Each structure stands twice: as structure tokens, then as C-alpha cells.
Amino acid sequence: MVSLLILIFKYKKADDGGKKEIVDLYLKNTKNINNWDLVDLSAGYIVGDYLFQFKKDRSILYKLAKSNNLWERRIAIMSTFAFIKNNHFEDALSISRILLNDSHDLIHKAVGWMLREIGKRDKKTEEEFLKKYYKRMPRTMLRYAIEKFSEGERKKFMSAKTSD
């Protein structure tokens, strides 16, 4: 964790070339970023920030989202937090679609969290996504996504939920 905190600090202070080096180092070492707190602490601040700020190709996120490695899949969705904070939702929604059928609870939580973050900024966008996919979403993902909804809205989504 300390290593990742140092990387984040160095990333923030680095010039453009230094930021690229840090992102490359991060992506070469995803096997060592192997816990939810390590991913959540770092992915958005390093990978997500770099891809967003420098308008880089985001195909790496889609590759990570399809990885067999749980932590790489979580890096993919958590990196989109940088985009969400800047009101750019397309990649977060696309990666959420990829991860809809993921079997791991830690992915369900992360996707639901990112959907909820979208909803904090643009509830209509979140609702459109949910109306299309809520019946297919794992229950944990849906619960996280609708956490900030009114009680009536939450009940509506949860009572209509038929699969898990």
C-alpha cells in the first residue's frame, strides 16, 4: 500500500513523460495490486487520470475488464472513476456492461459503486442504464447502484428483480 501511495504522490508531481512511466509500471505490475483496497486506492488516480487527462486510447481498460484476473477487472472499472468525476460516463457504462455477468462479489460491488457515482452526477443516465439491465444485474451490484435512491425507488427496482 505504501508503494502505491508513493506512486500516486510521484504521479501527481511528474511531468507528462514521468506520468507515462508510472502508468506503464503500474500496468506491468497488476499481479501485485491484488487486493480491493490497493485497487480502489490507486486505479483512478493513476490509470484513470492518465487516460482521461491525456485523452489516451482506453482499450487497455477493455482488455483488463475481460481479464481472468479479478484485480485487473476491478482496475478496469475503478479506473473509470477519474472519468466519472469529470462527467464522462461512456467508458464506465461500457465496462459495467462487460462486467454484468461477472461471478465475483468484489466486481459486483465496484460496478454498483461506479454506477452510483454516475447517478450522483447524472441520475437520468444511471436510471437509463438500470432500466435496461437491472433484471440481469447481480443483487449486490444493484443494491450498491441504487443506494442513494429514495426508498420507493429502491423498492421498485428490488421488487422487480427476478434473477441473481
List the domain boundaries for the chain.
2-159
Q: What is the pLDDT of residues 65-81, one digit of tens each?
A: 999 999 999 999 999 99
- Going by C-alpha positions, the residue among 68, 70, 117 that lies closest to residue 92 is 117
* Predicted TM-score of the model (pTM): 0.96
Q: What is the pLDDT of residues 123-155, one digit of tens each?
A: 999 999 999 999 999 999 999 999 999 999 999
For residue 54, pLDDT beyond 80: yes
Angstrom distance (rounded) from CA 93 to CA 77 = 9
CATH of span 2-159: 1.25.10.90
The distance from CA 8 to its chain's CA centroid, rounded to whole angstroms, is 18
The distance from CA 29 to its chain's CA centroid, rounded to whole angstroms, is 19
- Residue 77 CB coordination number (10 Å): 30
CB 79 within 8 A of CB 61: yes
Q: What is the pLDDT of residues 57-116, one digit of tens each?
A: 999 999 999 999 999 999 999 999 999 999 999 999 999 999 999 999 999 999 999 999
What the block records as the C-alpha cell of 46 is 493513476
Q: How confident is the model at residue 27 (pLDDT cuts 50, 70, 90)?
A: very high
Q: How confident is the model at residue 160 (pLDDT cuts 50, 70, 90)?
A: confident
3-class DSSP state for residue 52? helix
Angstrom distance (rounded) from CA 69 to CA 72 = 5
Query: What is the largest distance, in Å, between two alpha-carbon atoms of the chain?
Result: 51
